[in-house]
């Protein structure tokens, strides 16, 4: 199950719901990504996440499907937030259940690694430099993220 | 009509979220449409890192566009 939403999510509620969908499982791995407040040399006061409605959901469902083909998973939950977010806000959740921990660990990492290079989200940071001047900039994609995703090929 | 969308940095650089092309563009490839738009002054599309989608699926620039299709030009993604 995937969700793209502006509202925050409750980790414990998501965990309990995933657990209810995973009564035969022996392992649940939950990953949460948070907004960091520093990038390069300036302080990030907030960020705005843009996405491509419709395509985002297609891509996320496709990634979950690929994960289910590679590992014996019982249930998968993906939430990605869009809109304005602030430092330390929750931005993404991936939850995976399986009979054994290795599949759950690996599948959750796979989903995040592919999401970062394939799901059509873009971050725009609102920054403040040491002189206190405000600015905006689109975040550049990282080569390290592409390498991380390519390692699953 | 062919609906063409721009996202993120491209949307800001071009100054609009999208344009509509008439059906005379049907039959061209995505790469040809990109080239035509560059020649019409959308220089932000002259960028090798741009990814294209046809009807909400990433695809190669050799695919042919038909009337009614939705084309999207996107910078590399930065979610997660």
Nearest chain B Cα to A115, which residue? B80
- Lowest mean pLDDT of A28-32, A95-99, A124-128, name the range: A124-128
pLDDT at A129 over 70: yes
pLDDT in tens, B32-47: 999 999 999 999 999 9
How high is the ipTM of this complex? 0.95
Q: Taking residues A24-41, report their average pLDDT.
A: 89
B7, B49, B56 ranked by CB distance to A122: nearest: B7
Share of chain B above pLDDT 90, in %: 100
Share of chain A above pLDDT 90, in %: 87
Cα–Cα distance for residue pair A72/A95, rounded to 1 Å? 14
Alpha-carbon gap: B73 to the closest alpha carbon of chain A (Å): 11
pLDDT at A40 over 70: no
Show the tokens assigned to B47: 């960028």
B-interface mutation test, from A63, A78, A138, most B Cβ less than 10 A away: A138
Q: Taking residues A103-125, report their average pLDDT.
A: 98
Q: What CATH fold (topology level) applies to the domain A2-150?
A: Aldehyde Oxidoreductase; domain 3 (3.90.1170)
Strand (E) or helix (H) holding B6: strand B2-6
Do the strands B70-74 and B2-6 form a parallel or antiparallel pair, or are they unpaired? Answer: parallel
Q: Cβ contacts of residue A14 below 8 Å, gap of 6+?
A: A30, A77, A79, A93, A95
- CATH number for the domain formed by residue range(s) B2-74: 3.10.20.30
pLDDT in tens, A56-87: 999 999 999 999 999 999 999 999 999 999 99
Do the strands A73-81 and A2-5 form a parallel or antiparallel pair, or are they unpaired? Answer: parallel
H-type helices in A42-152, by residue range?
Answer: 55-70, 101-118, 143-150
pLDDT along chain B (80 residues), means of 10: 98 97 97 97 97 97 98 97
H-type helices in A4-152, by residue range?
Answer: 11-20, 55-70, 101-118, 143-150
* pLDDT score recorded for residue A57: 98
The answer to whether the Cβ–Cβ distance between A55 and B80 falls below 8 Å is: no
* pLDDT score recorded for residue A41: 67
Q: Is A80 helix (H, G, I), strand (E, B) or coil?
A: strand
* pLDDT score recorded for residue A132: 81
Cα–Cα distance for residue pair A3/A61, rounded to 1 Å? 10
* pLDDT score recorded for residue B8: 98
Q: Which residues of chain B have a CB within 8 Å of the CB of A120?
A: 7, 53, 74, 77, 79
């Amino acid at each position: 199950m995937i969700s793209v939403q502006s509202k925050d999510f409750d980790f414990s509620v998501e965990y309990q719901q995933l657990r209810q969908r995973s009564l035969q499982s022996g392992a649940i791995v939950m990953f949460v990504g948070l907004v960091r407040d520093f990038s390069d040399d300036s302080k990030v006061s907030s960020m705005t996440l843009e996405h491509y409605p419709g395509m985002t959901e297609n891509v996320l469902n496709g990634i979950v499907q690929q994960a289910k083909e590679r590992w014996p998973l019982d249930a998968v939950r993906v939430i990605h937030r869009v809109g304005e977010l602030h430092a330390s806000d929750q931005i993404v959740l991936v939850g995976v259940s399986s009979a054994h921990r290795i599949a759950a660990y690996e599948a959750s990492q796979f989903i995040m690694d592919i999401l970062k290079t394939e799901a059509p989200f873009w971050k725009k940071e609102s920054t403040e430099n040491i002189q206190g001047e405000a600015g905006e900039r689109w975040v550049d994609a990282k080569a390290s993220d592409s390498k991380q995703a390519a390692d699953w090929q | 009509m062919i609906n063409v969308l721009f996202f993120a940095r491209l949307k800001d650089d071009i100054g609009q979220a999208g344009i509509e092309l008439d059906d005379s563009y049907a039959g061209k490839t995505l790469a040809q449409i990109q080239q035509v738009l560059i020649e019409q002054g959308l220089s932000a599309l002259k960028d090798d890192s741009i990814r294209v989608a046809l009807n909400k699926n990433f695809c190669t620039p050799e695919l042919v566009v038909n009337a009614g299709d939705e084309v999207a030009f996107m910078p590399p993604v930065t979610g997660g």
